[in-house]
Structure 1
Amino acid sequence: MSQIPSPPNEKQTTLAPGQGGAASQHTLRNISLIIGREYTTRVRQRSFVISTIIMLIIVALGTCVPTIIAFFNQGSNDQKTLTVANNAGSIAGMENTTLQKTLSDLLNGDASHYKLKLEQGNSQQLEQQVKAGKLSVLVVIDRGADQKLHFKYYTSNTDSIDPDQSAVQAMAQQIAILDRANQLHLTPQQTQDLFAPVTLDVVKTQQDARSGTDLAIGMITAFIGVILIFVTVFMYGIQVANGVAEEKGNRIIEILVNATTPFQLMVGKVIGIGAVGLTQMAALTVTGILFLLLQHPLQNALGIGQTGITIALAGVSIPLLLLVFVFFILGFLLYATLFAAVGALVSRQEEVSSAATPLTWLFMIGYIVSLYGATTASAIWFKILSFIPFFTPTVMLVRVGTMSAAPWEIGLSILLMIAGIFVCAWVAARIYRLGILMYGQRPNMKEIIRMIRSK
């Protein structure tokens, strides 16, 4: 239907709603009808179906990332041949067999990524083989006039990041120390004592302290949840405001208030659009949990050993995903009531964006602050913000992800959000009651306060 714009200099006029006696007698019935209309209309939209499918694919692929990485890394587990050309003669007093084993141990550590091949002399010929692509990695060891070992590293790798170089550098550093120790006439036992690892006893003072992997997975899940909450709450909140403004601009609202009360209209629209968002979030949450639980069977089917990161995902992310779901519901109800009031204050749908700017900035503050949660989650100011209902959905979620929130703090923040929802709904209902039938110039702050105080 075409919109009927108000004249630019038109004074405010308010159409008085009817008594609404009959409508008030069927509150639940009217609200349920409005909810059903809002829900069915929006879930049948092509844009909703397409966007939901795209997000489901993203969530499914995101949960499968560890398995995908492990699958493609299977081929990279094959040993890479690393050739060492020894032009230095005796190194650390070792024979060739002992030297080759020592170099291999220093290069691989507890793993077995490299197969080391020791060559005596012929370094120039080996260098040509690297240039021709017949050898991938070559290390040439020489001894200078100062009797120190000198190393040259040849590689056919053209990538900007070369993992082989760091491994070779560590091996060269350690074998040089062994050679220097031999020149100082240290016994093998004394040399072994130099390389003896130190003992570090880790004492965790917090009972719920978890591993670094758990913390990393929790943070990643929390930040993804924050982004989802920010996008979905803002998107559906704007839909509430646009829906109210559209009906008001088309004068449909004047017909609706004859059959229902303004309160029924607001509640029905908020819950109806919220149910649409809830459906989408439920689909995303269930998909995320389902694919997390499928990782172990999937890895077994592909012949991949279950990785620690997958175990952490299954153990940490599922409770966090459920909390994302809870904070989405609470965050939407809190902001959607205020967005409904914003929609009631404007005369045309085009005015919604500018009228909702203060509310948008309020929500964005919590989002921006939450992005700093990785380093500030334990700060006092961050904890205080997590209990303010307008910021709780994003800030508290980051605290949970970084494991800096106690269970009682999570419960308290949820209770405060519920209380905040009732307060915002009461304020929004008073604004909505008068605003939906007010046309012309947008009311200023004094007039809005007068609406809230009116009985």
Structure 2
Amino acid sequence: MNKFWIIVAHTYLNKLKTKSFIITTAITVLLLLGITNLDTIIKAFDNDEQTTVGVLSESEEAYSTFKENMKLIDEDLALKEIKSESEAKKQVKDEEIEGYLQLSINSEELPQGVYKSNSLAESAVATSLQQGLQQMKVAYATQKVDLDPQQIEEIYSPVAFEKEALVDNAKTEEELSQARGLVYVLLFVIYFSVIMYGSMIAMEVATEKSSRVMEILVSSVSPVKQMFAKIAGIALLSLTQFTIIAAVGYMSLQGSSSELSDFLGFSDVPIQTFVYAFVFFILGYLLFATLAAFLGSLVSRIEDVQQMITPMTLVIVAAFMIAMFGLGKPEASFITITSFIPFFAPMIMFLRVGMLTVPVWEIALSIGLLVATIGLLAVFGARVYRGGVLMYGKSSSFKDIKKALQLTKKESIKK
């Protein structure tokens, strides 16, 4: 057993010291700090003065009404009354104003406008001006039919509408919104980690084979121990990296006034959601790591690794795409069915657990099927790995699995 832990420690420490691990962790931490403090960063770099827009109006009254409406819509947008279009064009050219609005009253005594600027890329300004004109039009139209302010308010007040779940323990609208944000983040974590660390295991095995180190290892340690030692070593590496990232992200969110913290609502999410996230992350990792390890043992050149693990990657991508669809329709029959398929369960069942009240037996069945699949895959993968590590030459086809199994039988007969 000592040899097993030696390989675990060797794999873990070697990968921990690599530049790729350090750089990847550092970049991820920096990106996380940037995302969680995005509002602060934008404010620090946003030193521009208020956006000023000129207004050419046929009526002083219309201009005053429009100006009052714009104060309620966009406080950062300043209006400047201009008497002639030539003067407005000159001020745009001199960059004194962003653009100008030609405000007029049509034959039906309703306001209309034309916004002119050097570029139409700044759509936010045009949108705010359009909203101001829309409100102004509503005010003018209601005056024409002699509606008093109270009647206008009643017409535009939102309808009373509430949603109530018939099931007692169903999540509320607020809890569902918070769960959706958290599940969205954790789905990305599971997705990228499974792809990244699965590829890392396959690359590790292929690298050792290409350098002939495998021949020395096989003579001293059984291939099965090697495979599971590498899986355990990379698992420790992934937990180390995610512990660092999670700690930094949590502390950054706690000290941030960003709306992202309120959206995710970590403090209001049930602790079992985090427990299930960890469980499905570990099970998903073990499933695809075992698959990646024996696929990596079939190739002798690093260049062939990506081709060999492409089908596995496509399965992960498919699971992720289904999960993204499920965020909008978590109760769909398609989502329920795929949550019991082992290769999809780490993402899909976690999605359901995070957003719905799922019966315990369904969660237990999904986890049971997932564990059973990992066990079967481990037994089969170990047999393929035992023969695969002895195969050299160009290997990039799944037909090589049969050759690996034949080599395993020969080795067993010799012993």
Q: What TM-score bracket applies, with the shorter chain setting the length?
A: 0.7 to 0.9
Determine the structure 1 residue equivalent to 2:261: 310
Q: In the alignment, is residue 47 of structure 1 matched against residue 20 of structure 2? A: yes
Amino acid in the other structure paired with 1:334: L
The answer (yes or no) to whether the contact 2:209–2:300 under 8 Å persists in 1 is yes
Where does residue 319 of structure 2 map in the other structure? 366
1:202 to 151, 162, 165: 162
Gaps of 5+ in 2: none
1:166-219: CA deviation from partner (whole Å, max 9, x where unpaired): 2222222332343344445x1535763575423332224243432786366336
Distance 1:317 1:58 in 2: 25
Structure 2 CA distance for aligned equivalents of residues 234 and 112 of structure 1 = 51
Q: Contact 1:55–1:284 (CA<8 Å) still a contact in 2?
A: yes
Give the direction of change, closer, same or farther, for the CA distance of 1:282–1:341 in structure 2 (3 Å limit).
Answer: same
Q: Which residue of 2 aligns with 1:392?
A: 345
Change (3 A) 1:361 1:213: closer
Distance 2:303 2:96 in 1: 68
Structure 1 residue 39 displacement after superposition? 1.9
AA at the equivalent of 1:106: N
The equivalent position to 2:104 in structure 1, one of 130, 139, 142, is 142
Q: Structure 2 matches for 1:235-314, cutoff 5 A?
A: 235-243=199-207, 245-246=209-210, 251-256=215-220, 260-295=221-256, 306-314=257-265
Are 2:290 and 1:337 aligned? yes
- Of residues 209, 218, 223, the one that matches 2:182 is 218
% same residue: 25
Q: 1:261 Cα deviation (Å)?
A: 3.3
Following superposition, the deviation at residue 108 of structure 1 comes to 3.5
Residue 201 of structure 1 aligns to a residue whose secondary structure is: coil
3-state SS of paired residue (1:210): helix
> How far apart, CA to CA, are the structure 2 residues paired with 1:141 and 1:357?
60
Instruction: Name the counterpart of 2:376.
Output: 423
Cα distance in 1 between the residues matched to 2:105 and 2:2: 92
SS at 1:158 equivalent: coil
Answer with 242-251 or 441-450: which moved more: 441-450
Report the CA distance shift for 1:405/1:54 in structure 2 as closer, same or farther (over 3 A): farther
Q: Which amino acid aligns with 1:432?
A: Y
Aligned residue in 2 for 1:62: 35
Partner of 1:107: 70
Structure-1 separation of matches of 2:294 and 2:11: 17
How many angstroms apart in 1 are the aligned matches of 2:123 and 2:172?
38
Aligned 1:162-177 pairs, distance under 5 A: 162-177=123-138
Q: 1:425 Cα shift?
A: 1.7
The equivalent of 1:95 in structure 2 is none
1:415 to partner: Cα distance: 4.5
Tell me how far apart the structure 2 counterparts of residues 60 and 48 of structure 1 sit (CA, whole Å): 18
CA spacing shift, 1:436–1:108, aligned 2, 3 Å: same
CA gap of 1:342–1:308, structure 2 versus 1, over 3 A, is closer
Does the 8 A contact of 1:343 with 1:352 survive in 2?
Answer: yes
Q: Larger RCO: Structure 1 or Structure 2 (Cα < 8 Å, ≥ 6 residues apart)? A: 1
The AA in structure 1 aligned to 2:222 is T
CA pair 90-444 structure 1, distance change in 2 beyond 3 A: closer
2:194–2:285 contact (8 Å) kept in structure 1: no
CA RMSD of the aligned region, Å? 4.1
Q: What secondary structure, in the 3-state scheme, does the structure 2 residue paired with 1:51 have?
A: helix
Unmatched 5+ stretches in structure 1: 1-27, 92-98, 296-305
The alignment partner of 1:109 has SS state of: helix
**What is the distance in 1 between the residues matched to 2:304 and 2:152?**
77
Q: Distance in 1 between matches of 2:99 and 2:209?
A: 68
